[in-house]
Amino acid sequence: MLASEAPPQVVMSGQVVVSPSKTKTARDDCLKIMDPSRKKLVSLETQRIAGILEACIQKVEMISLLPAVMTNKGLSHVAADDGLRTMMENHIEVSDRYEYLRALTAKPENQTPSTLKGKADAADSVHCSIQHLFRRNQACPLVNRTLGFLMGMLEAGSHEESTGALAKGLVELRSVLLERLLTTPMEEKERMCRMQETSQRYHSNLELVSSLEAEVAASIKDKDDAIFEKNLTIRRLKNSLHQMEKISEDFVSRTRQDAEKQNQAEQNASFGRQQRMNQEVNLLKAQLISLITDNRDVEMTMRKKKYKVETEIENWIQKYDADMGEKQVELEELERVFEEEKEELRELEEHYSVLEEEYLQVMEEQRLALERQEEEERAQEVMGRAAIVIQAHWRGYCVRKAMKAKAKAKGGKKGKGGKGKKK
C-alpha cells in the first residue's frame, strides 16, 4: 500500500470498522492527553503542599527505621553528644511497652480497665516521644543529617519491610497529588471531554458488536438450514445406494451361473489342448537332448578360456602384492615421521600451558595490586573528607566560644558603668 493511501477500513452491514493502526493512534493520543503537560510545580502553594506531604513521608520512614538505627553502631558517638541516644532508647522502651500491652489486650479475657488504661497511657507516651524526637532532630541539623545518612546506608530489604502500609499509602497519595497539582483546569476539562468521547465510542462499539452478533446468528441459522438440506440429500442417496446393492447382488448371482456354465465348457476344451501339449513336449525333449550335446563342446572351449584368464589374474595379483609391499613401507615411514612431529607438538603445548599459567598469575597479581591501590586512595579520600568536616566543626565551635566570651565581656563592662552613674 502506498504512503498516500488512506488506512484500510472494513465495511459490515453499513457499519465502518476502523483499522487497528488508526485505533492504536487514537489510543496513543488519549494517553498523551491523560499525562500532565507540566513536569514541575510552579506556584508557591502547590510547592508547600508537596513539601508537607514529603516531610510527612520522611517522618513515617524515620519512625519505621528507628529500631534499625538503634542497632547501628555508627550512631552511638554522634547521638551521645547531643543526648539523642537517650531519647531514642526511651522511645524504644515506650514502643515495646505499647506493643506488649496491645498484644495483651488482644485477648478478651485480658481486657480489664487497668490494662486498657495502661494501653492508652502507653499510646500517649509513644506520641509524645515521637514529637520530642522530631523536635530534637529539627533543633540539631548535624544529627538530622547523620541520621539520614545512616538510614540511607541501611539495607534496602529491611527498609522495605519496616516501612509498612502507611508509608506506601503516603507515597501513592503523593503521586496522585502531584498529578492533580500538575494538571491545569483546561487540561482537566479537555481530559473530561476526551473521556466522554471515549465513552460514546465505547457505546457505539457495543451497538456495532450487537449488530454483528445478530448477523452471525442469522448466518449460523442459514448454515444450519443448509446442513439440514444436505442431510436430507445424503439420506436419499443412501436409500438409492441400498437399492443399487440389491440389484448388484442379483446381477452377481446371474453372472456366477453363467461363469459355471462357461467353466464346464472350458474344461472340455482344455482336455483336447492337453493332448496336443503332450505331443509338443515330447518333440521339445528330443530337441533338448540335441542341444545338450552341442553345449558340451562349447563348455570345453569356455573352460580353456577360463584357465587362461585365471592365469593372467594370478600374475596381476602377484604384481599388486609387490606394489602394496612398497607402499606399506612408505606408509610406515610416514607414520614414524607423524609420531615424531606429534611428540614435538605435545612438548610445545606443555610449554605453552606453563607459560599461560605464569602469565595468568602475573595478571592476577597486577589486578590485586591495582585494587589495593584504589582501596587506599578511597580510604585517603574518606579520611580527608572526615578531617575537613571535623576541622570545620572545631573552627565553628571556637568562633562561637570566642563570640560568647566577647559578649560576656561587653555585658560586664556595661554593668560596671551603670553602678558608677547611680552613685
Residue by residue, what is the 3-state secondary structure of 210-256? HHHHHHHHHHHHHHHHHHHHHHHHHHHHHHHHHHHHHHHHHHHHHHH
Q: How confident is the model at residue 3 (pLDDT cuts 50, 70, 90)?
A: very low
Instruction: Render pLDDT for 351-387 as a digit per residue (tens, 0 to 9).
Output: 888 888 888 899 999 889 999 999 999 888 899 888 8
> Grid coordinates in use for 279?
505331443
CA–CA separation, 349 and 355 (whole Å): 10
Cβ contact 126:98 at 8 Å: yes
pLDDT at 412 > cutoff 70: no
- Find which of 256-265, 323-332, 412-421 is predicted with most confidence, using mean pLDDT: 323-332
pLDDT at 8 > cutoff 50: no
**Among 12-16, 74-78, 166-170, 302-306, where is mean pLDDT lowest?**
12-16
CA–CA separation, 177 and 46 (whole Å): 10
The pTM (predicted TM-score) of the whole model is: 0.32
Residues forming a β-bridge with 10? 17
**Among 57-66, 152-161, 379-388, 411-420, where is mean pLDDT lowest?**
152-161
Specify the pLDDT at position 423: 42
Determine whether 137 is exposed, middle or buried from the number of CB atoms within 10 Å of its CB (0-12, 13-18, 19+): buried
* Mean of pLDDT values over 84-112: 77
Q: How confident is the model at residue 13 (pLDDT cuts 50, 70, 90)?
A: very low
* Mean of pLDDT values over 143-162: 51
Q: How confident is the model at residue 18 (pLDDT cuts 50, 70, 90)?
A: very low
pLDDT at 324 > cutoff 70: yes
Write out the H or E segment, with its range, that includes residue 147.
helix 141-153
Q: How many CB atoms lie within 10 A of CB 95?
A: 18
Residue 84: CB partners within 8 Å, gap ≥ 6? Answer: 78, 133, 136, 137, 140, 143
CA distances (Å), 65 to each of 48, 154, 170, 257, 398, in order? 25, 9, 16, 110, 35
pLDDT at 139 > cutoff 50: yes
pLDDT at 233 > cutoff 50: yes
- Find which of 61-70, 145-154, 266-275 is predicted with most confidence, using mean pLDDT: 266-275
Mean confidence (pLDDT) of the chain? 76
**Among 95-104, 293-302, 393-402, where is mean pLDDT lowest?**
95-104
pLDDT at 318 > cutoff 70: yes
Q: How confident is the model at residue 162 (pLDDT cuts 50, 70, 90)?
A: very low
Specify the pLDDT at position 32: 52
